[in-house]
Structure 1
Amino acid sequence: MPACVVSLALAALALGVLPMAWPLSLMGLLALALPVLMAPRPTPGPEPALPPGPGLLQRLVLLLALALLLLWGLLHRPQPGPRDPSRLIPPGQETLALRLRGRLLADPQPSGSGEGCRALLQLNHGRSELQFNPCPRLQQGWSLEAEGSLGRPRPAPHPLLAGPAERLARQGAWSLLRVERWRLLERPATPMADLRRRMAAALLAVGGPEAGGVLAALVLGSAVVPVPLAVREAFRVAGLSHALAASGFHLTVLLGAVMALARHGPRPLRWGLALGAMLLFLLLAGPQPSVVRAVLMGAMAFLVQESGRRNRPLGVLLLACLGMVLVAPAWLLDVGFQLSVAACAGLMLTARPLEERLGAWLPRWVAAGVAVPLAASLWTLPLQLLHFGALPVYAVPANLLIEPLLTPLTLGAMAMAVAAVLAPPLVGLLALPLLPLTRLFLWLAQLFAGLPLAQWQLGKMLPLLVLLFSLGLLPWLLPLQSGVQAWRRPGALLLALAFALHLALLGGDQLLLVHEGRRDLLVARHGGRGALVSRSADGLSCGRARQLALGLGLQRFDWILLLDGVAAERPSCWREISPTVLAPGDGSPPLAVGQRLASPGLAVTALAADSQALLLRCGRLAWALLPDRQALWSWRRLPPQPVRGLWLGFRPRQAERRALPRLDPSRLWISAAGSASGWQQS
């Protein structure tokens, strides 16, 4: 009966025809998952009987439920409602003068451009992001009325780049308001937000922005605490980002400490302390998908353990994830949630067999320490390739070295946070032993992040190739069983095929144009290397170039040519991504006629002395680059040259278009200033 309920309800969910299907599915899944969630009480005697596993029908239905939920999550991506503010903007119109009233969902945060700040506003129907300049002193939970220009956020100009539209869509917002005037309506009590601020402020005050930010992140998570960007980047490159993100590890440390205190206490005390700790963790870290997953798993595991039955972690993980996706399908697309679930599955399925294998060659304690980060890294490997295109090479040794520090630091940071509320004078006393440990923790992360090739940039892998890679990797990650071992040889072939196709795509000749406002980036790729021609030398263009290099699997560009007549805004940024940067705006001599900037298979040659007309060669591709009309006029006076394509940085007139060489429309690229952002590639 539960199998029928699950199958029918999930089919209805996938088709979107039964609004109340998810409660029925949840009840059916609960009935189905009970044999998977927990085993019977152990049988007394010297050799306890093994618990019976789930039957074939239950396994098939659970697999069907998982497949249908994945489909349902993809089909039910967040969309603006009929009364969302974005619906008020007339078609064909970019902005609309409007007044909005609502409640702030978070404290204003600095904007990505470094000017002003932004905050998410909850309305009666939908959400909108407020953009302030200058930044006002507002707090989460306050109600206000804001008036200004409402517009739709710009989408990313290329799939490898981040855009405000994608960022806001993940938060359920599809509009932004550039605030011109605002008025505070109500300042209600926000006890939890005030508690977070008080804890974070105390830890930041005693440890400074870096050490204090790390301590605060160990309690509240980096999504709540303003950790410096350089620290976040060091932890990411070293493969230690999980240490700063509120996750199951932090909850496990908190629950372990609480249950150690109440181990011999009465049952109501244990229940009260455990559930209270989980609720406090959820309130402080916020309802992030990874936090909700950790709390649900912790609650189910605690209830199963208290019932006297053996816990089955994989069943707990499966039930928690299915319940979350049923209630909030958008969480399925959250990268943090995906990484969290994959890492948990790796620890449950692969860590112990891997430890036993490593124990044959390594000391037991070393094998146990290596198996945990290695299992988590292997299970998250496909997601790393899909979302980031880069792998932290030293993640396993870095995790092995910081593991002895992480538990005492987490407990100490939690103790400091509690002292900041209950006994502020104790914060400085607790900081005496913790700050040196925190600085050692920071130093280790920065050490591994600064090592040569700390980040192996493989480039983002296509989803189809990631699927092939995952199918090939799975037989090597599952426990050692005869049925699984038979699939390892085909799995190795799938792994080799996925990597061969990916490397072939990275090594081909390609010219990529990314247009965004007045910025144009032209990336030439040949033989796994790349070069860049940028029309602008500002900091945002450099940041975009860095993101493109990471997504395309380029460690650095061979050379960069900046066509901007103004000096580079951040010269150090450009030098970090290329050893050779030619920027006439910084006083570098421009290319003379016939001179070229070149590396094997990649070259750009100046065609005229009175303009910026250029010829870009990328392997067998030859592309004329004409950023303005002066360059077009100069190029037309030159002897005809065979080119495969043409880029114009302006919108040509009819007469100018008729005078252009006859090219396939896909090889004539026009990116005039003010035109819609987008990208084209050869």
Structure 2
Amino acid sequence: MERSRSVLWGWAYIGGLLAADEFGLAAAVLHWPSAIAVAAVLAIAGGVAAATIPRRWRRGPQPTAWVTAGAIAALAVIYLHARVPQPGPTDISRLFQPLSESSNGVTAPVNYLVGTVQGRVLTIPRQSRADTARFELAVEEFERRDGPLQTVGGRLYVKVPRVAAADVLPGRTIAVTGGLYRPRRPANPGAFDFSAYLARRGIFAGLSADDAEAIAVLDRAIAPGWWQLRRRISSAFVRGVESPRGETIASVTLGRRATDLPPEVSDRFIRVGLAHVLAASGFHVALLLAAVLAATQRFVRSWRVGIGLGVLMLYAGLTGASPSVLRAAFMGAVVLVAMAGDRKVNAVGSLLLAAVLLLLVNPLWIADLGFQLSFLSALGLLVTVEPIAWWLNWLPVRIAGIVAVPVAVLPWVLPLQLHAFGVVAPYSIVASIITTPLVILVSYGGMLGAAAAAIWPVAGSAIAWIVQFPTLMLLGVVSWLASLPGSTQALGTIASWHMGLLYLAIVVIWQFARVRRVWPLVLFLAIVSVLVPVVVARATLQQVAVLEAGREQVTVVRERGTVAVLVDVAPERGNDDEAVERMRVRATNVATYTVLPFLRQQGIDRIDLGVALSPEAAACWSEIAEEVAVGELWTEPLAVGERFALGDSAIAVRQVEPLLLSMQLGTASWVISGDRLGDSQCRSRSLQAAEVLDADVLLWTGSPIDYDWLRALDPEVAIASARSVARCARRQLYRQATDVLWTGRDGALLWTPQGGWETFRSREAIGD
């Protein structure tokens, strides 16, 4: 009875934190009325449970335990909301508070400032995709361009060219010149909420610089820390073997924080469902602990426990003390303590205790996807491996164990993966079975090399040279699996309630023997609940999505099973190599951070028609085609009269200069332009084309529009793929009673024949 009551209270605390996160109470903006309301509902739920459940579950917790559980859940909500980081009175983000008048006569906060920031480096710079480096800075001063020097505080997210961060190390005082900005909330479905991620780390502003000489080192003193040993080990590995083998050994051994693994390599591991191999996790802790216990067999028990605990602490520090590693280290410590006292370990109870203690230290970890996946993976291993291994008793014991582990973990993590990413890796079980022996070899070799490199880097490099051979085999297997058709399948994200129902089914099967007998039926119903909406949407959905991509134009059209994507990338000023590289980076970013996340969220794994509306967009399509199958891809210059079939509809090229496309979808007719519509040299051709077009919707770049052209076209709705719309264009459109929407203000815009227009961002406080 005492144990069941403790378990109930532990789950009540975790459930309260999950409820708070689901209702947005882990966000940076405090809203105590909502927190109190959620807490009250949970407290009432505890009272209802106390009045009903003990009558049916007589051997379970007593009514007072259920009332206490409700109170614990309610307090968990309040505790999490109280722990949400807030900018201090001198935080650098406070510089955005003054208001200025916007172009439509409405006051709006300043979101971008140019100047120089001085502060102390907190983290080692990490490489980003666009050959940039990112790190965190403890801010001390800010000098606005043509403005006074101000004393400020807080933390700042900094992104600079990689070459500029060569001398940036933790503890050094530097000055960075660039653009100070307020991180924006996601503007497209499926986009990562980077502003919320930074807010949970206590960061409410960022600074971006393009100049290779943007950083000046003012004080070269460094702060000692685990990063030095981590850097020493990873540097020894990288010197010992060629890239990316050295970086892969470091990542498999110490996690991705240890080194800058090339993005294309990490992407392949993610695509085949092996992301956990590159992240320090319970698997690595288990291997390390097993090696330590095997190496200390001749020692007395107290020495074995002491050495084991010391190694666990060392490994947790080296890997950056992530929540997943701390959870695994805690459970390893429980095993060692139980071994010292010659006691049995309640594995599930230890996992629950580890989760509760970690979430007491930092309740915001409840929103950390790594923590969630680590906890669920461990739970799946503890409760599911044994029955699956029993079903596989016809195999040799070692092989049955290798097969049982990924099979046991998959059902516990798959609902969360679908909720967060909307994709599955069909080959993940096969990939795990094939690569497990190689991962074990690389992990043990990397651990031995790390120990050697800490003492003598040359020895670490020599060991890395030996370990490169299984690493090369691992990289080859992963590359081969990633190249197979269907290595990643987009099913679309599922709602929170849907994920909750799937986990409820899993828990019921786990806890109740009667239901366990019909688990194939439950599994079938779960699969149907995920696949049927995807199949129906692909076959029947008519939708146009205009995505927010800054200066770029991205339109996704779905016409009853057929998908077309139109991309236009604005040209960069200048023709030098730097301008070409900036344009390529912008095009790649559009694919990586706008198009692909939206396709995953929508469950689109094939594009039937891809069109580059400008030559600059070709780089975007090369990135998209690596992950999504593309049927017909058109990157050549468009010609008048060309038609692209789209289900029962078609996209026709009406004019090239300026570019005009027409499309009929359902009862709505569209005109799409990728060029300026007010240029005098194109006025006559534009006007002539507009007179023969019938447009319900105009999609353009937000630039000025010729008045006669607009009057001839007379659209009902005008959509601008732009951060802002030219004032004269808005004035003309309003005069014609045309509704005006633009992605910079409204975020992504979704249209369906039944529901009309839906904006991704709230229309509150737009003031238009």
Give the TM interval when normalised to the shorter protein.
0.7 to 0.9
Partners of 1:252 and 1:228 lie apart in 2 by 27
Tell me which moved more, 60-69 or 146-155. Answer: 60-69
- Report what 1:119 is aligned to: 135
Paired position in structure 1 for 2:46: none
Q: Which residue of 1 aligns with 2:659?
A: 612
Q: What SS does the aligned partner of 2:563 have?
A: strand
1:456 equivalent in alignment to 2:462: no
**Unaligned regions of 5+ residues in structure 2, if any?**
33-58, 100-108, 141-152, 571-586, 726-743, 752-768
Pairwise CA distance, 1:325: 1.8
Q: Structure 1 residues 58, 182: closer, same or farther in 2, change over 3 A?
A: farther
1:375-434 CA distance string (max 9 Å, x none): 111111011111221111111111111222222321111111111122445335534542
Structure 1 CA distance for aligned equivalents of residues 475 and 233 of structure 2: 20
Deviates more, 1:212-221 or 1:177-186: 177-186
Aligned to 2:440: 407
* 3-state SS of paired residue (1:233): helix
Alignment-derived partner of residue 112 in structure 2? 95
Choose from 68, 78, 81 the match for 2:87: 81
Residue 39 of structure 1 is matched in structure 2 by none
Match of 2:171 among 122, 139, 142: 142
Output the amino acid matched with 2:591: C
Which of 119, 123, 128 does residue 106 from structure 1 map onto? 123
Query: Which residue matches 2:159?
Result: 131
Task: Tell me if the contact between 1:615 and 1:623 (Cα under 8 Å) persists in the aligned partners.
Answer: yes
Aligned to 1:160: 190
Q: 1:656/1:485 Cα in 2 relative to 1: closer, same or farther (>3 Å)? A: farther
Q: 1:6 to 1:111 in 2, by over 3 A?
A: closer
Question: Which residue is equivalent to 1:175?
Answer: 205
| Whole-angstrom distance in 2 between the partners of 1:268 and 1:655 | 86
Judged with a 3 Å threshold, the aligned counterparts in structure 2 of structure 1 residues 418 and 617 are, in CA distance, closer, same or farther, namely farther
CA pair 311-501 structure 1, distance change in 2 beyond 3 A: same
Aligned partner of 1:341 among 375, 387, 391: 375
The residue identity in structure 2 corresponding to 1:605 is A
Q: Check 1:559–1:370 CA distance in 2 against 1; reply closer, same or farther (3 A cut).
A: same
Q: What is the rounded CA distance, in whole Å, between the counterparts of 1:94 and 1:352 in structure 2?
A: 55
Deviation at 1:499, TM superposition (A): 3.5
SS of the equivalent of 1:332 reads helix
Select 1:541's aligned residue among 566, 579, 590: 590
Distance change (3 Å), C-alpha of 1:331 and 1:657: farther
1:580 to 612, 615, 632: 632
- In 1, the alpha carbon distance for the partners of 2:669 and 2:391 equals 54
The structure-2 alpha-carbon separation of the partners of 1:223 and 1:191, relative to structure 1 and needing over 3 Å to count, comes to: closer
**Aligned amino acid, residue 568 of structure 1:** A
Q: Is residue 634 of structure 1 aligned with residue 686 of structure 2?
A: yes
What displacement does 1:353 show?
A: 1.3
- Partner residue, 1:49: none
Aligned to 2:609: 559
Query: Is the partner of 1:414 in helix, strand or coil?
Result: helix
Structure 1 residue 60, shift from structure 2 partner? 5.3
Q: Deviation digits for residues 606-657 of structure 1, max 9, x if unmatched? A: 2235532212345665422134326997377545655553323225679679
2:612 aligned partner, one-letter code = L
Amino acid at match of 2:388: L
**How far does residue 304 in structure 1 lie from its aligned partner after superposition?**
2.9
Q: Which residue of 513, 525, 531 corresponds with 1:499?
A: 531
Instruction: Give the secondary structure class of the aligned counterpart of 2:165.
Output: coil
In the aligned structure 1, how far is the partner of 2:203 from the partner of 2:649?
42
Q: Output the amino acid matched with 1:420.
A: A
Q: Is contact 1:601–1:619 with CA below 8 Å preserved after alignment?
A: no
Q: CA deviation at 1:273?
A: 0.5
Query: CA offset at residue 348 of structure 1?
Result: 1.0
Q: Normalising by structure 1, what TM-score?
A: 0.83
Following the alignment from structure 1 to structure 2, what is the Cα–Cα distance between the partners of residues 299 and 605? 66
Give 2:136's aligned amino acid.
L
Query: For the residues of structure 2 that align with 1:220 and 1:7, how far apart are their CA atoms?
Result: 31
Residue deviations 1:485-520, cap 9 Å, x none? 579857754653343234434541111001222111
Alignment of 1:251-262 (within 5 A): 251-262=285-296
Query: Is 1:263 aligned with 2:281?
Result: no
Q: How many angstroms apart in 2 are the aligned matches of 1:129 and 1:12?
A: 31
Partner SS for 1:239: coil
Q: Summarize deviations over 1:156-175 as a string: whole Å, max 9, x none.
A: 33132346534533533111
Q: Check the 8 A contact 1:290/1:336 in 2, yes or no.
A: yes
Taking a change above 3 Å as real, the CA distance of residues 17 and 660 of structure 1, as seen in their structure-2 partners, is: closer
- Alignment deviations for residues 538-584 of structure 1 (CA, whole Å, 9 cap, x no partner): 3323333233333322223212222225473466335545343323x
Secondary structure of 1:568's counterpart equals helix
**What per-residue deviation string (whole Å, max 9, x for no partner) do you get for residues 168-187 of structure 1?**
33533111134655342351
Higher deviation after alignment, 539-548 or 433-442: 539-548
**CA shift in 2, pair 1:246/1:76, >3 Å:** farther
**Is contact 2:690-2:713 (8 Å) kept?**
no
Give the letter aligned to residue 391 of structure 2.
R
The answer on 1:603 being equivalent to 2:650 is yes
1:29 maps to what in 2?
A: none
Tell me the number of residue pairs that the alignment of Structure 1 and Structure 2 aligns.
638
Q: Quick one: structure 1 residues 63 and 5, their matched pair in 2 at CA, closer, same or farther if it must change by over 3 Å?
A: closer
Match of 1:679 in 2: 748
- Matched residues in 1 for 2:87 and 2:114: separation? 20
Residues 181-220 of structure 1: CA deviation (Å, up to 9, x unaligned): 5342351342522211110011111122221112111221
Indicate which of 281, 290, 293 corresponds to 2:315. 281
Query: Are the counterparts in 1 of residues 653 and 661 from structure 2 also a CA contact under 8 Å?
Result: yes
- Structure 2 Cα separation of the partners of residues 444 and 102 of structure 1: 45
Match of 2:513 in 1: 481
Percent identical residues: 26
Equivalent-residue separation in structure 2 for 1:7 and 1:207 (angstroms)? 47
Counterpart-to-counterpart distance in 2, 1:235 and 1:9: 34
How far did residue 151 of structure 1 move? 1.9
Q: Provide the rounded CA distance (Å) in 2 between the counterparts of 1:610 and 1:191.
A: 59
Secondary structure of 1:81's aligned partner: coil
Letter in 1 for 2:363: P
Aligned to 2:87, the other structure's residue is in SS state: coil
Matches of 1:567 and 1:159, distance apart in 2:
21
Q: Compute the displacement of 1:681 (Å).
A: 0.4
Question: Partner of 1:410: helix, strand, or coil?
Answer: helix
Match of 2:354 among 302, 307, 320: 320
- Shift, 1:246, TM fit: 0.4
TM-score computed with the length of structure 2 as normaliser? 0.74
Q: Write the mapping of 1:131-530 to structure 2, written as runs, cut at 5 A.
A: 131-133=159-161, 134-148=163-177, 149-162=179-192, 164-178=194-208, 180=214, 182-185=216-219, 187-359=221-393, 362=395, 364-427=397-460, 429-431=462-464, 433-476=466-509, 478=510, 481-482=513-514, 485=517, 493=525, 495-507=527-539, 508-530=541-563
Bigger shift: residues 617-626 or 203-212: 617-626
- The answer to whether the aligner puts 1:590 opposite 2:638 as a matched pair is yes
Q: Please give the alpha-carbon distance, in whole angstroms, between the structure 2 residues aligned to 1:224 and 1:482.
A: 47
Contact 2:452 2:459 in 1 (8 A): yes
Distance 2:498 2:114 in 1: 46
Q: What is the rounded CA distance, in whole Å, between the counterparts of 2:633 and 2:79 in structure 1?
A: 45
Alpha-carbon distance between aligned partners in 1 of 2:527 and 2:230, rounded to the nearest angstrom: 45
Bigger shift: 647-656 or 365-374? 647-656
* CA distance in 2: counterparts of 1:61 and 1:406, whole angstroms: 47
Moved more, 552-561 or 436-445: 552-561
Instruction: Work out the CA distance in 2 between the residues paired with 1:237 and 1:10.
Output: 30
What displacement does 1:372 show? 0.8
User: Aligned partners of 1:457 and 1:503: how far apart in 2?
Assistant: 12
The equivalent of 1:47 in structure 2 is none
Instruction: Tell me the secondary structure at the aligned position of residue 188 of structure 1.
Output: coil
For the aligned residue pairs, the C-alpha RMSD in angstroms reads 3.7
SS of the counterpart of 2:201? coil
Q: 1:364 to 1:225 in 2, by over 3 A?
A: same
